[in-house]
Amino acid sequence: MESKRSLWRHRDFLKFWSGDTVTQFTGQISGLALPTIAVLTLKVTGLQLGILQALGFIAFPTMGLFVGVWMDRMKRKPVMVVANLIQVATLASVPLAFVFGVLGLYQLYLVSLVMGTTTLFFDVAYQSYLPTLVDKEDVVEGNQKLQTSASAAQVIGPSVASGMMELFGAALSVVADVFGTLAAAFALLWVRKPEPEPQQTSPSSGRHFFAEMREGIAIVTGNSLLWTQAGCTGTSNLGSQIFGVALLLFAYDVLKISKGVIGIAFSIGAAGFLVGVLLSSRITNRLGLGRAVALSISLNFGLLITLLAHGGLAVFVIGGASFVASFGVPIYNINQVSLRQIITPNRLQGRMNATMRTIVWGTIPVGALLGGVLVTAFGITPTLVIGALVSGSAVAWIVLGPAFKLKKQPEPVKE
C-alpha cells in the first residue's frame, strides 16, 4: 500500500484535482448569478424560481439510470470533457444574450436544463472515474482533497461572486465560469494515465441494456448500507431545496439584502464547510464512522437559525445558520461517498453512482417545485421552517440503519 500522502506525488490526480478546483471556484459565481438575474432582473415569482431550480436537476430522476449503464459501457474521461465543453457554450449564451438585450426567463430555463443534464453525465462519470485514477486505498484521501477544494471555493466564491455582480452585473459575471469550465476541460485532457477499458458485465446480464440497468439498481436496493444512505441524502436534499427557494426570496425581498452583500452570508456559511473538511478525519476517528455521519446530517436543523435574521445583522445570522449546516456536509460526503465507492466493484461503479444520483438528486427538483408552491400558498417564513425540519429529519435514516454501527470504512471489495 502506498503512503498516506501518495496523492501529492500522483501527477495525474493533481491535474484532475486542479481542473476540478478551478471550476469549483468559478461555478460559485454562475451558481449565484443565475438565480439573482431571475429574482432581481426578471422579477420572477416564487413558483417561477422553483421551476428554474427544478430544471437544473430534472435530468437526474428522468435519465440517471440510463446514464449509469452508458458510463459502465464507455470510458469516463471523454464524457467529462464533452460535458464541460457543452457547458462552456451554454454559459456563454447568458452574457451574449444580455449584451444584445434579449435575455429572458425562458432562456434561463433552457440554460438550467442543459447545465443540469450535462452535470448528470459529468458527475456519474466523475465519481466512477476516481477509483480508476487512484488506488482504492487512496479513494478516501482523494475525496478529502476534492472536498477541500469545494470547501475553499464555497468560502471564497460567493463573496467574489457578489463583488463581480456589483461591478459587472450578474449576467456578465457568468463569463468567469465560461473560462473556468474551459480550463477544467483542458486539465482533464492533460491527464495521461490510460483509463481501463470498460469491463464486461456479469454473465447473467450479458450486454442487454435493461438487464444491466436492473443490475445497477439491485446493487443499491440489495445493500442496506447503500439504500439507507440514498434515503438519508434524498431526504436532506428535499428539505434543503424547499429551504433554498425561500431563502433567496427572504434575503432579497424581505430583508432587502443587496446582491453586492448577499455573498458574504454564503461565504460565512461555507467557512463551516471548510472547518468540516479539516476536522472530518478527527471527528470520524473519535466518534466512529456511523456516529460521525449521524451527527453531520443532524446539523441541518441549524438552518432554523435563519429565522432570527433581522436588520443590519441579517447577513451574519444567515451566514451563521449556514455555517452550522455546512459544517456537517463534508463530514457526511467524504464518508458516505468513500463508503459506496469502496464497497462497489469497478464494473458497477457507473450504475451504482447513477442509481444513487437518481434517488438523491431526484428529490431536488421535487423540493424546488414544492418550495415554490409552499412559498405561494403559505409564505416565505413557513417554507423556511418546513425545509429546515425536513432536511434535519434525514438523520433518522442513519440512526435506524446499519451505517450507525460502523466504526470505520470496510475493507475494499475484491473485483
* The most confident of 151-155, 156-160, 387-391, by mean pLDDT: 387-391
Report if residue 196 sits inside a domain: no
pLDDT band at 1; cut points 50, 70, 90: very low
As a whole number, mean pLDDT of residues 210-231 equals 84
What pLDDT, on a 0 to 100 scale, did the predictor assign at position 75?
85
One-letter amino acid for residue 2 of the chain: E
- The closest alpha carbon to 209, from 65, 409, 355, 370, belongs to 65
Cβ neighbours around 308 below 10 Å, total: 12
- What's the whole-number average pLDDT of the chain? 87
Within 13 Å, how many C-alpha atoms sit on residue 229's CB side? 30
| Residue 62 CA, distance from chain mean position | 18
Three cell numbers written together for 382: 413557513
pLDDT digits (tens, 9 = 90+) for 376-412: 999 999 999 999 999 999 999 999 988 888 888 766 5
pLDDT for residue 124: 80
* Cell (9 digits) for 368: 424546488
pLDDT of 197 > 90? The answer is no
Supply the pLDDT for residue 200. 53
Looking at the chain, the whole-number percentage of residues with pLDDT higher than 90 is 47
pTM: 0.75
Q: What is the mean pLDDT of residues 411-415?
A: 58
The CATH number linked to 216 is: 1.20.1250.20
How big is the CA angle at 411 (ends 405 and 415), to the nearest 5 degrees? 130
Is residue 347 situated within a structural domain? yes
Residue 398 lies in a domain: yes
Phi and psi dihedrals of 64, rounded to 5?
Answer: -55, -45
Q: Taking 70 as the threshold, does the pLDDT of residue 199 lie above it?
A: no
Does the residue 109 lie in any domain? yes
Q: Quick one: pLDDT band at residue 203, thresholds 50, 70, 90?
A: very low
Q: Is the pLDDT of residue 242 over 80?
A: yes
Percentage of the chain lying above the pLDDT 70 cut:
95
Q: What is the pLDDT of residue 207?
A: 58
Angle, CA of 354, 301 and 373, to the nearest 5°: 70
Answer whether residue 349 shows pLDDT above 90: no
C-alpha cell at 40: 432581481
Classify residue 225: in a domain, yes or no: yes
Give pLDDT, residue 415.
53
How does pLDDT run across 49-79, given as a tens digit for each residue?
999 999 998 988 888 778 877 877 788 899 9
Within a domain: 137: yes
Q: Which of 135, 196, 166, 219 is nearest to 29 (CA)?
A: 166
CA distance 59 to 50: 15
| pLDDT score for 410 | 67
Distance CA 141, CA 249 (A): 38
Compute the average pLDDT of residues 175-203: 83
Is 27 within the bounds of a domain? Answer: yes
The count of other CB atoms within 10 Å of the CB of residue 182 is 20
CA 109/CA 105 separation, integer angstroms? 6
DSSP state of 361: T
- Per-residue model confidence (pLDDT) at position 385: 97
Contact 264, 159 (CB under 8 A): yes
Over residues 275-309, the pLDDT tens digits come to 888 898 899 999 999 899 999 999 999 999 999 99
CA nearest 302: which of 322, 285, 278, 282?
322
Q: How many domains does the chain have?
A: 1
Q: Report yes or no on 199 lying in a domain.
A: no
Q: Residues 251-259: what's their mean pLDDT?
A: 90
Task: State the pLDDT at residue 204.
Answer: 47
Mean pLDDT over residues 95-116, rounded?
96
> Quick check: 216 and 351 in contact, CB under 8 A?
yes
- Mean pLDDT score, 175-187: 95
Domain extent for 26: 11-191+208-405
Calculate the CA dihedral of residues 150, 156, 158, 164 and round it to 10 degrees.
-130
Phi first, then psi: give them for residue 218, nearest 5 degrees: -65, -35
